């Protein structure tokens, strides 16, 4: 045992003996356990009764198809979004009940129903889950789904690594869920406030769950970033020049560069903290040479680029949705690209504004204040470009556009409050208040609205039918009502002096606003059920909601709307040749949108593999073992991971070939309403899959990818 630990420990079972010691319990935890148990049992029983285990393994768990991997990323994100929401429900209800000295307490709490020991864990879990395990997987999932289609690729550059990144993210989420029932979670905040994360102040396993979950998940995110960058650089279709890339692809590129360069910094910070907790070093301890501010700097050097890591894809969503429903090209394409990379660059120069109160010199404060304000320039460029895109457009306020327009409105509010917080004098006053909490929730609502708009927008492309419009609008208005009722009072409470992370409210005058926040959470809760109902009703009525055209909205502009709806597993029967920035809009104007190839050629595809999920299974065992310090089991599982990686590296994976005859049959089956036009002098309109007739486009030779 490298360091002295409080409580029982042995070589075989590590610290599992802690579970035998009577400790805090709460019916809320039991309810959550029963909910997960009943839900999990229902899913397992359904799969068994329907005999779908083989299908699940072959088609999903071992897949390397970027579309299915993207769907599973989004599914993980939505599940963890609901988990994080219920944490928020507990926070808001606790604060609404624990107001004033006469407020009653139940379930072991002096006021309300959650004692500080429990509520601190809820704060930590809520922040970490929402940022790293809800929003991030949803955005990575959408990038997986859409980027290869937008650039005319058949898959990601590294399909195996893509699957491995997914399952490492799933392991990260699993460790957080296990912590809900086996042991405790960190009480040191989602940022890991030093020195609270040190062993002397957090002797339990909660911080270890937090630490290993983030560390494993960050590896998966880094792998995903590498994959996106390589895919965009090397897998573009012929004719897809850099300045023909859709804006969402550009923002995905900028996001992935941030991810590739920032997540290793987080890995270093957490590794040093791991050394402190497991080996007895003193990198971040309160004494013996430790530097508390070094951890804070390292964390926020990652943490603020991470904010733009998640907001840039949202800006990409808006840049795809708004032109489609305005029936106009995006205004200021080049400036949008430059703005995206300007935001990514400046994101590395602003982290110190998270701790303006640390006592730095006026010159330091002035520098980081100015750089923080600079972010507003490229962000403002984007807002004006979206507004000018809508100006004099024939706007259709369908569900995706409702989400997109509201996201822009929230961005304006969040940007103005961000400018306030960039001024050190104001920041000193509201630092650590719920005004700051309201601001960053405001910005994450920008992302959430854009993400929901993107899900509704691209849903028919993935599944072949639209989501129910009536329930979609109902979901939007309920969710928006909840947003207004929660965060407008929160801004107000922050200016009234309410600090964050309170388990007890000493000022009864704040109670009305806290009650309004709780009502807002109620609207959110209802919207969750409406969202689930929308999915169910849309699936039930999928025949009547089916999309018969490749372009589900009729005015879409980018390349993903050129292929089938839903997208086949090979993406494009013919690798398209790109002629313009908005390729689908260009072909629509040229009258060539529905033209089909006269012949096909074979397509090579990668094989499915179970290695990523098996490696991730051993990673889960290794992570759990390190949390409970079962070192022997951790060593065995780590050796197994290395062995599996080596086996995979030295095993040939030739993939498989879809013959031209099979492609032709699949195309005829999926597109019975389309007709091939016979004309003279066919010009190649695609590579690696066939040729397209000439319809006025200039002939050009392109390399085969």
User: Does pLDDT of 115 surpass 50?
Assistant: yes
What does residue 696 show for φ and ψ, rounded to 5 degrees?
A: 100, -10
In a domain, 153, yes or no: no
pLDDT digits (tens, 9 = 90+) for 266-313: 999 999 999 999 999 999 988 888 888 999 999 999 999 999 999 999
DSSP 685: -
Mean of pLDDT values over 332-354: 94
- Which pLDDT belongs to residue 667? 85
- On whether the CB atoms of residues 595 and 677 are closer than 8 A, the answer is yes
Task: Report the percentage of the chain scoring pLDDT > 90.
Answer: 77
CA distance 550 to 464: 9
User: Does pLDDT of 460 surpass 70?
Assistant: yes
What are the strands, taking DSSP E only, across 601-697? 603-605, 656-658, 686-687, 690-691
Nearest of 263, 256, 253 to residue 303 by alpha carbon: 263
In a domain, 239, yes or no: no
Question: What is the SS3 assignment for 261?
Answer: helix
- Which pLDDT belongs to residue 699? 32
In a domain, 704, yes or no: no
Q: How confident is the model at residue 316 (pLDDT cuts 50, 70, 90)?
A: very high
> What's the number of domains the chain is made of?
1
User: Does pLDDT of 698 surpass 60?
Assistant: no
CA distance 185 to 176: 8
CA distance 639 to 613: 16
Beta bridge partners of 691: 599
CA distance 426 to 420: 7
- Which pLDDT belongs to residue 288? 84
Please classify residue 179 by burial: count the beta carbons closer than 10 Å to its beta carbon, then call 0-12 exposed, 13-18 middle and 19+ buried.
buried
- Which pLDDT belongs to residue 671? 64
- Which pLDDT belongs to residue 696? 33
CA distance 195 to 285: 6
User: Does pLDDT of 681 surpass 90?
Assistant: no
User: pTM of the entire structure?
Assistant: 0.92
- Which pLDDT belongs to residue 668? 82
Q: How confident is the model at residue 458 (pLDDT cuts 50, 70, 90)?
A: very high
pLDDT digits (tens, 9 = 90+) for 65-106: 999 999 999 999 999 999 999 999 999 999 999 998 889 988
| 432-451 as b/e: b if 16+ CB within 10 A | ebbbbbbbbbbbbbbbbbbb
User: Does pLDDT of 455 surpass 60?
Assistant: yes
Residues of the chain by 3-state class (helix, strand, coil), percent to 5:
65, 5, 30
What does residue 604 show for φ and ψ, rounded to 5 degrees?
A: -95, 135
CA distance 430 to 691: 63
- On whether the CB atoms of residues 481 and 519 are closer than 8 A, the answer is no
Evaluate the CA torsion angle 159, 165, 167, 173 in order and state its sign: negative
Mean of pLDDT values over 442-446: 96
- Which pLDDT belongs to residue 465? 94
Please classify residue 596 by burial: count the beta carbons closer than 10 Å to its beta carbon, then call 0-12 exposed, 13-18 middle and 19+ buried.
middle
In a domain, 469, yes or no: yes
CA distance 603 to 622: 39
Distance of CA 447 to the CA centre of its chain: 9
What is the chain's mean pLDDT, rounded?
Answer: 90
- Which pLDDT belongs to residue 559? 93
Question: Residue for token digits 């405790």?
Answer: 184
Q: What is the CA radius of gyration of the chain?
A: 26
CA distance 379 to 383: 6
CA distance 449 to 400: 9
- Which pLDDT belongs to residue 287? 82
- Which pLDDT belongs to residue 24? 66
| 256-270 as b/e: b if 16+ CB within 10 A | bbbbbebbebbbebb
In a domain, 339, yes or no: yes
Nearest of 551, 383, 524 to residue 466 by alpha carbon: 551
First to last CA, the chain: 54
Structure tokens at 679: 């004309």
Beta bridge partners of 690: 600
Q: Please, what's the largest Cα pairwise distance for the chain?
A: 88
**Angle at CA of residue 172, ends 279 and 119, nearest 5°:** 80
pLDDT digits (tens, 9 = 90+) for 118-145: 999 999 999 999 999 999 999 999 999 9
More confident position, 448 or 671:
448
421 CB neighbour count, 10 Å cutoff: 20
pLDDT digits (tens, 9 = 90+) for 177-225: 999 889 899 999 999 988 999 999 999 999 999 999 999 999 999 999 9
Nearest of 379, 406, 405, 455 to residue 139 by alpha carbon: 455
- Which pLDDT belongs to residue 580? 93
Q: How confident is the model at residue 688 (pLDDT cuts 50, 70, 90)?
A: very low
pLDDT digits (tens, 9 = 90+) for 665-674: 888 887 654 4
CA distance 427 to 421: 5
In a domain, 154, yes or no: no
- On whether the CB atoms of residues 137 and 169 are closer than 8 A, the answer is yes
User: Does pLDDT of 489 surpass 70?
Assistant: yes
CA distance 39 to 390: 44
Q: How confident is the model at residue 702 (pLDDT cuts 50, 70, 90)?
A: very low
In a domain, 78, yes or no: no
In a domain, 40, yes or no: no
User: Does pLDDT of 687 surpass 60?
Assistant: no
pLDDT digits (tens, 9 = 90+) for 233-252: 999 999 999 999 999 999 99
Q: How confident is the model at residue 257 (pLDDT cuts 50, 70, 90)?
A: very high
User: Does pLDDT of 678 surpass 60?
Assistant: no
Mean of pLDDT values over 397-412: 96
* Cα dihedral value 497, 411, 145, 147, nearest 10: -130
More confident position, 682 or 168:
168
Range of the domain at 470: 311-548
Nearest of 214, 201, 209, 213 to residue 276 by alpha carbon: 201
- Which pLDDT belongs to residue 693? 33
Structure tokens at 310: 């998640």
Tell me the DSSP string of 384-430: HHHHHHHTT------HHHHHHHHHHHHHHHHHHHHHHHTSHHHHHHH
How far lies 389's CA from each of 252, 375, 382, 564, in Å?
A: 21, 22, 10, 28
Distance of CA 570 to the CA centre of its chain: 25
pLDDT digits (tens, 9 = 90+) for 588-635: 999 888 887 878 889 999 999 999 999 999 999 999 999 999 999 999
- Which pLDDT belongs to residue 1? 55
Three-state secondary structure readout of 539-562: HHCCCCCECCCCCCCCCCCCHHHC
CATH of the domain at 332: 1.20.210.10
CA distance 59 to 287: 54
Q: How confident is the model at residue 22 (pLDDT cuts 50, 70, 90)?
A: low
- Which pLDDT belongs to residue 691? 34
Mean of pLDDT values over 150-170: 95
């Amino acid at each position: 045992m490298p360091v002295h630990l409080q409580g029982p420990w042995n070589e075989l079972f590590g610290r599992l003996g802690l579970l035998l010691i009577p400790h805090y319990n709460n019916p809320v935890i039991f309810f959550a356990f029963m909910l997960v148990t009943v839900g999990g049992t229902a899913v397992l029983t359904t799969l068994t009764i329907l005999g779908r285990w083989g299908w699940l393994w072959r088609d999903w768990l071992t897949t390397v198809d970027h579309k299915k991997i993207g769907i599973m990323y989004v599914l993980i994100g939505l599940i963890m979004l609901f988990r994080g929401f219920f944490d928020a429900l507990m926070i808001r209800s606790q604060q609404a009940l624990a107001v004033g000295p006469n407020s009653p307490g139940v379930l072991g709490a002096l006021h309300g129903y959650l004692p500080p020991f429990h509520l601190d864990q809820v704060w930590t879990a809520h922040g970490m889950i929402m940022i790293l395990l809800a929003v991030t997987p949803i955005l990575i999932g959408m990038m997986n789904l859409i980027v290869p289609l937008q650039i005319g690729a058949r898959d990601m550059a590294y399909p195996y690594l893509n699957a491995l990144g997914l399952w490492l993210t799933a392991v990260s989420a699993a460790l957080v869920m296990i912590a809900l029932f086996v042991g405790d979670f960190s009480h040191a905040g989602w940022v890991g406030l030093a020195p609270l994360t040190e062993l002397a102040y957090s002797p339990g396993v909660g911080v270890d769950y937090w630490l290993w979950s983030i560390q494993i998940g960050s590896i998966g995110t880094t792998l995903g970033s590498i994959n996106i960058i390589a895919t965009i650089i090397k897998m573009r279709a012929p004719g897809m020049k850099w300045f023909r890339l859709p804006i969402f692809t550009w923002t995905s590129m900028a996001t992935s560069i941030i991810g590739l360069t920032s997540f290793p910094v987080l890995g270093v910070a957490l590794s040093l903290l791991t050394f402190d907790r497991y080996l007895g070093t003193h990198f971040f301890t309160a004494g013996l040479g430790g530097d508390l501010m070094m951890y804070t700097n390292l964390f926020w050097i990652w943490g603020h680029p991470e904010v733009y890591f998640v907001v840039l894809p949202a800006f990409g969503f808006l840049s795809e949705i708004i032109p489609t429903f305005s029936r106009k090209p995006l205004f200021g394409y080049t400036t949008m690209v430059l703005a995206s990379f300007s935001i990514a660059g400046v994101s590395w120069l602003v982290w110190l504004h998270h701790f303006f109160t640390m006592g730095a010199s006026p010159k330091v404060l002035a520098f980081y204040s100015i750089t923080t304000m600079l972010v507003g320039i490229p962000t403002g460029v984007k807002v004006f470009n979206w507004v000018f895109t809508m100006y004099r457009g024939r706007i259709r306020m369908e569900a995706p556009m409702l989400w997109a327009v509201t996201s822009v409105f929230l961005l304006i509010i969040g940007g103005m409050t961000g400018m306030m917080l960039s001024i050190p004098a104001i920041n000193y006053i509201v630092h650590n208040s719920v005004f700051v909490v309201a601001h960053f929730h405001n910005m994450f609502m920008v992302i959430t609205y854009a993400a929901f708009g993107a899900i509704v927008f691209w849903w028919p492309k993935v599944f072949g039918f639209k989501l129910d419009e009536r329930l979609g609008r109902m979901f939007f208005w309920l969710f928006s009502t909840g947003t207004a009722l929660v965060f407008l009072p929160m801004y107000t409470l922050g200016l009234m002096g309410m600090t964050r992370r309170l388990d007890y409210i000493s000022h009864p005058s704040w109670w009305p606003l806290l009650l309004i926040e709780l009502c807002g959470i109620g609207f959110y809760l209802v919207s969750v059920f409406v969202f689930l109902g929308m999915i169910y009703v849309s699936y039930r009525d999928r025949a009547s909601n089916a999309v018969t055209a490749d372009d589900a909205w009729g005015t879409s502009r980018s390349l993903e709307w050129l292929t089938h709806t839903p997208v086949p597993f090979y993406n494009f029967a013919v690798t398209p040749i790109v002629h313009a920035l908005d390729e689908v809009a260009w072909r629509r104007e040229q009258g060539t949108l529905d033209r089909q190839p006269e012949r096909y050629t074979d397509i090579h595809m990668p094989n499915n593999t179970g290695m990523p999920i098996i490696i991730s299974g051993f990673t889960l065992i290794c992570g759990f073992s390190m949390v409970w310090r079962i070192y022997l089991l951790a060593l065995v599982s780590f050796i197994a991971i290395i062995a599996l990686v080596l086996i995979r590296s030295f095993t040939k994976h030739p993939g498989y070939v879809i013959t031209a005859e099979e492609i032709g049959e699949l195309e005829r089956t999926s597109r019975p309403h389309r007709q091939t036009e016979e004309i003279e002098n066919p010009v190649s309109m695609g590579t690696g899959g066939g040729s397209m007739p000439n319809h006025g486009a200039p002939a050009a030779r392109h390399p085969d990818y």
